[in-house]
Structure 1
Amino acid sequence: MRGANGWLPRLFDIGLWLVVCAPPASAALRLDERDAVVAALAVPLLGGAVAFSRRRPLAALAAPVALSLTTDPEMLTPVYWAALALFGYLAGSRTVAVRPALWFCGTVAAAGLVLCAVVSSDLWGWPSMLLTLLIAVVLPWLLGRYRRQYADLMATGWRLAERMEHEQQAVADRTRIRERARIAGDMHDSLGHDLTLIAVQAGALEVDPTLDARQQAAVGELREAAGAATERLREIIGVLRADDEVPPRAPSEESAEAVVERARASGVDVTLERSGATDDPPPMVGLAVHRVLQESLTNAAKHAPGAGVRVRIARDGDALRLTVESDPAPAGRLPGVASGGSGLVGLDERVRLAGGTLRAEPTDDGGFAVTAELPAAGAAPRTAGPPRPTTSARELELARRRIRRRLLQAVVAPLAVLAGILLLMIPVSLVSSSLSVLDREVYAGLTAGEPRGAVESRLPRFTRDGPPDGAPAAPRGQECAYYSTGLMSSDGYRLCFADGRLVSKSVVGEGGDKNEGEGEGEGEGEGEGEGD
């Protein structure tokens, strides 16, 4: 691991240095004196840039940019293109923030404008410099940034996969715990119901006059033990109930008649009435009916032992109604079994999940009534609201948004820069045309044979962007400069130099013949005189 972390980066940096230094090193042997010195200095400078490229990627990119601008303000020197592309790619892959890169490119663009205006006196070189910056630096930077984003997305994906695996394991554990709690809850409901009926039967035997005192005391102890067992069962298993407990997936197969018959066999005076098609309710509704009926009979036996209970199950259209109404407890009967008071809360939640409502209230004659209204055709369970997305889902969505946004930036940014450069050419053209206008009187005062320095001292600082349309080719061996005849004119003045002197001047362009004719005497006379 030490070699992987230490030697491989060093070998990569050495290889990078050799690649970026090979073009300037070879160019130093065949360039003129000034460019050769710059190319020779580029070798150690690029070596320092490689050394700092991991900690300061943008500072490392500044080295080839400065070398390229020093050699040519338009950055059209192929010697440094490889260094620009490689350092631009590394800057994109090794930096996180975008703003420093934008400031860097903006500073380079401003420096290029100053150099084109002051050093080369050619404003038209600035759009060329911006295009070179876009192709050689910005596009590799975007490619490196995409590579980094892809690597970050892969790392995020693996982290999310690992987290989801842990979450799935946690969900499985919670599911097992909930299933155990559900089983415990069903045990509480069923066993509590049976223990309550046992206590009711024991209470009836306790007051049976045919039993002697010893037998009545034993039956009383049995009743008290059943009540205590019910209470302990509620305390132990009630702790296992989850707040978001869901009902079992299938209802009990025990019918309402079976529940009523079992309660009647235990000594509860209960009657059952059915009205309408109530035999085949939906699973969730059937489960709710079973639980409400069982719990209501249990509560009646607990709180009003010996009282009569009436059960009515009726269907009215799409509504199924279950009513369990108990009479007041007879006077002189033994007290019922203590209750924890959570039975009705559980029933209300059970009915709510089935899409119905539960109402429990005392009656006018002192009894108690429990009424459950449920959808006969079944309904979707009511929930508190849509489930909240998990942390992994939120992070995945954020990662997708970032990738889409950055991909859009990677496509739109170069196009926007290119459109900006094309728009810049309009004001550059106007400024260049206005600053390259040669006064007619100055042009008329130029004489062939004058030294170039004396001629250029009277000329505008900026030249036209190339010859006008229709201009003839420059004479062989002569270096020609073109100036505008007016702000919106399509013609231009051509001044040609050779051996450091002005050798000819002319008006060129589509209307050049006419202009040449207007100044023919002076222009041709001077040319012929110098020629003789």
Structure 2
Amino acid sequence: MSSDETASETPAFPGWRWLLPSAVIHELDPEAGRAGRRPRRTARDWIVDFFGFLLAVVIGLAVADTLSDDPDLPHAVVVTDQLLGALACAAVWLRRRWPLGLAVATIPLAFVSTTSAGAGVVALFTLAVHRPFRYAAWVGGMQLVLIPLLLWVRPDPDLSYAPAVVFTLLLTVAITGWGMFVRSKRQLMLSLRDRARRAETEARLRAEQAQRLAREAIAREMHDVLAHRLTLLSVHAGALEFRPDAPREEVARAAGVIRESAHEALQDLREIIGVLRAGDSDDAGRPQPTLAGLDTLVAESREAGMKVTLDSRVTDSAAVPASVGRTAYRIAQEGLTNARKHAHGAEVTVSVTGAPGEGLAMSVRNPAPDGQVPHVPGSGQGLIGLTERATLAGGRLEHGPEDGGGFGVRAWLPWR
């Protein structure tokens, strides 16, 4: 009648419920306890209950033999004793539903029916298994106190009074302790099962969060890398569309920029896909831009026809942390890309200042454009990604219209 190990609760083993006590299933399966429904007995419960009933009957029959050998007992007393013992054995089948009531009822019954001793043993064990310690302590304590009186009124025919009292006391303590051990084992099993479920849930949530962060990082990287190239391509293609009669030199120049931008975008895309296939992090697999690459970025924008002024007043560009420099580069890149899309022909000013301990402050500003600008679709995802980058780096980023109709992106990044 000890607790079984928890079976694997998987669809591949649908018969796991048959191997567990109904009380354990009631705790493991929330559906079993809805609407106050009692847990149904499992095959294991029926087997254990049968052996419990059989144990009570065997003990009762053994005691009945001793009653028949006692010539001092009237026949009516013997018959009444055996009848009450039989009823007590039958009541063992109700031990799961009313463990406390059955255990309490067997205490006074023991004074009038010695053949109910087996049912009393099973009832006490059941109480210790299915109810908290305080119930088993009260009922077991009552039995310990009444055992000397019981053996005085109904002495054991085979043992003298003192050894019988000691043996019965030890047996009562052993039964109670065994039942409490089974209960603690079941509680430990349920606790471990609950902890395992919580650990699985937390691991799943952490995995989902990691996947979400990875997707966001990939989206930011792809946008930052490709948007710059594709915007060059889109702007020059739009210029050719709006000015089909442009001089051949300008058409050739725009076509060259389109070809170069498409080639660079394809190369960047291949690098990103290569990093993803290799499973590397954002900082591995390919060279990452730094603050020192601002000059190249500005030069590239100028070659594409933009008017860009770079104002860099950083004490030591080489000392800027790689993550901070990369974030600053992406901010400048996105700012130039937006200016190229929405303020074509306007002069853009990129300012960078900072020193160790003071942080790195930068801005990308452009005035309102002159004349008509070809429409280039955009959803603002780049600015959202820049804000996330700055926040992850421990800084902040602001963007919005400037006085006079222009637009500006301002950021501050920590530099310790």
TM tier, smaller:
0.5 to 0.7
Distance in 2 between residues matched to 1:363 and 1:260, nearest whole Å: 22
Distance in 2 between residues matched to 1:70 and 1:282, nearest whole Å: 90
Contact 2:353–2:360 (CA under 8 A) maintained in structure 1: yes
* Other-structure match for 1:57: 99
Change (3 A) 1:39 1:197: same
Distance in 1 between residues matched to 2:212 and 2:87, nearest whole Å: 67
The structure 1 residue matched to 2:411, chosen from 369, 372, 380, is 372
Q: TM-score, normalised by structure 1?
A: 0.49
Contact 1:23–1:80 (CA under 8 A) maintained in structure 2: no
Distance in 1 between residues matched to 2:49 and 2:141, nearest whole Å: 31
Contact 1:263–1:270 (CA under 8 A) maintained in structure 2: yes
Deviation at 1:144, TM superposition (A): 2.0
Deviation at 1:192, TM superposition (A): 1.8
Change (3 A) 1:81 1:315: farther
Equivalent AA in structure 2 for residue 193 of structure 1: H
Higher helix share: 2
Matched, 1:323 2:359: no
Correspondence list, 1:117-156, <5 A:
140-141=175-176, 143-155=178-190
Note the aligned Cα RMSD (angstroms).
Answer: 4.8
Contact 1:322–1:372 (CA under 8 A) maintained in structure 2: yes
Matched, 1:20 2:59: yes
* Other-structure match for 1:33: 73
Deviation at 1:149, TM superposition (A): 4.0
Alignment gaps of 5+ in structure 2: 1-14, 20-41, 154-165, 263-280
The structure 2 residue matched to 1:262, chosen from 300, 311, 328, is 300
Contact 2:346–2:366 (CA under 8 A) maintained in structure 1: yes
Distance in 1 between residues matched to 2:383 and 2:53, nearest whole Å: 78
* Other-structure match for 1:189: 224
* Other-structure match for 1:517: none
Alignment gaps of 5+ in structure 1: 72-76, 120-130, 227-246, 378-532
Distance in 2 between residues matched to 1:53 and 1:335, nearest whole Å: 85
Matched, 1:349 2:385: no
Contact 1:291–1:347 (CA under 8 A) maintained in structure 2: yes
Matched, 1:253 2:253: no
Alignment coverage as a number of residue pairs? 328
Deviation at 1:338, TM superposition (A): 3.5
Query: Secondary structure of 2:344's partner?
Result: coil
Distance in 2 between residues matched to 1:359 and 1:182, nearest whole Å: 20
> Who wins on radius of gyration, i.e. which is larger?
1
Matched, 1:211 2:247: yes
Distance in 2 between residues matched to 1:166 and 1:60, nearest whole Å: 41
Matched, 1:46 2:85: no
Query: Secondary structure of 2:348's partner?
Result: strand
Deviation at 1:355, TM superposition (A): 0.9
Distance in 2 between residues matched to 1:352 and 1:173, nearest whole Å: 21
Change (3 A) 1:172 1:263: same
Query: Secondary structure of 2:97's partner?
Result: coil
Distance in 1 between residues matched to 2:200 and 2:306, nearest whole Å: 53
Change (3 A) 1:320 1:177: closer
Name whichever of 262-271 and 203-212 sits farther off: 203-212
Deviation at 1:37, TM superposition (A): 6.2
Query: Secondary structure of 1:315's partner?
Result: strand
* Other-structure match for 1:89: 125
Change (3 A) 1:248 1:30: farther
The structure 2 residue matched to 1:279, chosen from 294, 302, 318, is 318
Contact 1:25–1:40 (CA under 8 A) maintained in structure 2: yes
Contact 1:305–1:329 (CA under 8 A) maintained in structure 2: no
Contact 2:328–2:362 (CA under 8 A) maintained in structure 1: no
Deviation at 1:39, TM superposition (A): 4.7
Deviation at 1:301, TM superposition (A): 1.4
Deviation at 1:350, TM superposition (A): 1.9
Kindly provide the CA deviation profile for residues 161-190 of structure 1, in whole angstroms up to 9, marking residues without a partner as x: 467557756765775565355424422232
Contact 1:318–1:376 (CA under 8 A) maintained in structure 2: yes
Kindly provide the CA deviation profile for residues 480-530 of structure 1, in whole angstroms up to 9, marking residues without a partner as x: xxxxxxxxxxxxxxxxxxxxxxxxxxxxxxxxxxxxxxxxxxxxxxxxxxx
Distance in 1 between residues matched to 2:396 and 2:169, nearest whole Å: 69
Q: TM-score, normalised by structure 2?
A: 0.61
Distance in 2 between residues matched to 1:146 and 1:316, nearest whole Å: 68
Change (3 A) 1:373 1:175: closer
The structure 2 residue matched to 1:66, chosen from 108, 122, 135, is 108
Distance in 1 between residues matched to 2:322 and 2:65, nearest whole Å: 86
Kindly provide the CA deviation profile for residues 296-324 of structure 1, in whole angstroms up to 9, marking residues without a partner as x: 11112122111222222222341332323
Equivalent AA in structure 2 for residue 268 of structure 1: M
Contact 1:24–1:40 (CA under 8 A) maintained in structure 2: no
Correspondence list, 1:418-497, <5 A:
none
Equivalent AA in structure 1 for residue 384 of structure 2: V
Deviation at 1:267, TM superposition (A): 1.9
Equivalent AA in structure 2 for residue 271 of structure 1: T
Change (3 A) 1:32 1:194: farther
